[in-house]
Homo-oligomer: A and B are copies of this chain.
Amino acid sequence: MERVLITGGAGFIGSTVADRLLDEGVDVAILDDFRTGRREFIVDALQRGAELFEGDVLDGALLGEAIDGCDTVFHLQANADVRHGLENPRRDLEQNTIATSDVLEAMRAVGAKRICFSSTGSVYGDAPIVPTREDGPFPIQTSLYGASKVAGEGMIGAYAHGLGFTGLIFRFVSVLGERYTHGHVIDFYRALKADPTRLQVLGDGRQTKSYLYVQDCVEAMLTAAAHHGDDPGAYVYNLATDETVTVDESVATITARLGLTPEVQKSGGDRGWAGDSPLIHLDTERIRSLGWAPTLTIRDAIARTLEWFEAEPAIVFDQEPSHS
């Protein structure tokens, strides 16, 4: 990697990738429209020489400018709202599916042939086998978000097969850590700061979730990228810890850490919303076979995230609550 374009490069994961690549002496171009990305996250990267292209990845002229001279793209920009997909079906279609097609075409135009793509464990739908392997049973999608990521994965596969692209497809669980600004840990934190006496939880609290610390996530992506170099093909990796936590356990970790004993009020049912998967637990043998292992447990990642919330109240309380 000599010069890398990071779409969504001002976001939670994207800005962390930017910092890591800059550490390694890579030239970095950041494309972000700041819809969910934040200027605070890339102040340091820009000072260290990263170049910012501000706007939408669907803006072809801007994308063409941003990708010029790059050999690799971390395509991390996406609509990541699993919950409200059916309220606005064009959003996943445009921001995820069409955007990925545009990125692949922009890559072809400049001869960039390596793409690292943030897919999701949600592509497994209601997985009949857990922990779920990358080559587990061909799933039925349960969300437009999952569908749009499967679409992106598929297009990357076609470019790898037909044009010799190197496609690295990462199926993430939810990611936690510094700069995390979207998902249930921050929702719970904000709610408890507003009212420490009670906490409302969607579902029955027994939904099992898996989380991964952001630095471990980025390390895994870079490990896989280094392993495959520019080998043509599409390579899929689950990225997760081997643990899971229930929402109840996650709440317990958060409240213990904050020293609170709220009354927890549950909406009931085995899933929080239509399209939520009641169980996401990924088999990580494949990425571990490359020598990678996570450094933080889920509880430690939650704790690290809470420390960051405490240190950055201006960021934490500057956003609307949302679930993921």
Is A86 in contact with B158, judged by CB distance below 8 angstroms? yes
Among A136-177, those with CB < 8 Å from B are 136-144, 146-148, 150-151, 153-155, 157-163
Is A158 in contact with B146, judged by CB distance below 8 angstroms? yes
Cα distance A162–B89 when bound, in Å? Answer: 12
Most buried by B among A85, A136, A151, A236: A151
Cα distance A142–B98 when bound, in Å? Answer: 18
Cβ of A134 under 8 Å from chain B: yes
Cβ of A14 under 8 Å from chain B: no
If A97-B151, A153-B141, A155-B141 touch, whether A274 touches B85 (CB-CB below 8 Å) is: no
Contact with B along A272-283 (1 / 0, CB 8 A): 001100000000
This chain's copy number in the assembly: 2
Cα distance A60–B307 when bound, in Å? Answer: 50
Cα distance A128–B158 when bound, in Å? Answer: 17
Cβ of A192 under 8 Å from chain B: no
Is B93 in contact with A140, judged by CB distance below 8 angstroms? no
Is B141 in contact with A138, judged by CB distance below 8 angstroms? no
Q: Within the complex, what minimum Cβ distance (angstroms) separates A165 from chain B?
A: 10
Q: How many residues of A contact B (CB 8 A)?
A: 43
Q: Which residue of chain B lies nearest to A104 when distances are taken between CB atoms in the complex?
A: B89
Is A143 in contact with B158, judged by CB distance below 8 angstroms? yes
Cβ of A125 under 8 Å from chain B: yes
Cβ of A246 under 8 Å from chain B: no
Is A158 in contact with B138, judged by CB distance below 8 angstroms? no
Of B93, B136, B161, the contact of A137 (CB 8 Å cutoff): B136
Cβ of A248 under 8 Å from chain B: no
Q: Is the interface of A mostly helix, strand, loop or mixed?
A: helix
Most buried by B among A136, A155, A275: A155
Cβ of A56 under 8 Å from chain B: no
Is B85 in contact with A162, judged by CB distance below 8 angstroms? yes
Cβ of A105 under 8 Å from chain B: yes
Cα distance A124–B135 when bound, in Å? Answer: 12
Q: Which residue of chain B lies nearest to A153 when distances are taken between CB atoms in the complex?
A: B141
Is A236 in contact with B140, judged by CB distance below 8 angstroms? yes
Cα distance A162–B142 when bound, in Å? Answer: 7
Is B147 in contact with A154, judged by CB distance below 8 angstroms? yes
Q: Which residues of the partner chain B approach A137 to less than 8 Å between Cβ atoms?
A: 135-138
Most buried by B among A85, A86, A147: A147
Give 6 CB contacts A-B under 8 Å: A86-B158, A97-B97, A137-B138, A141-B157, A141-B161, A147-B157
Residues of chain A at the chain B interface (Cβ within 8 Å): 85-86, 89-90, 93, 97-98, 101, 104-105, 124-125, 128, 134-144, 146-148, 150-151, 153-155, 157-163, 234, 236, 274-275
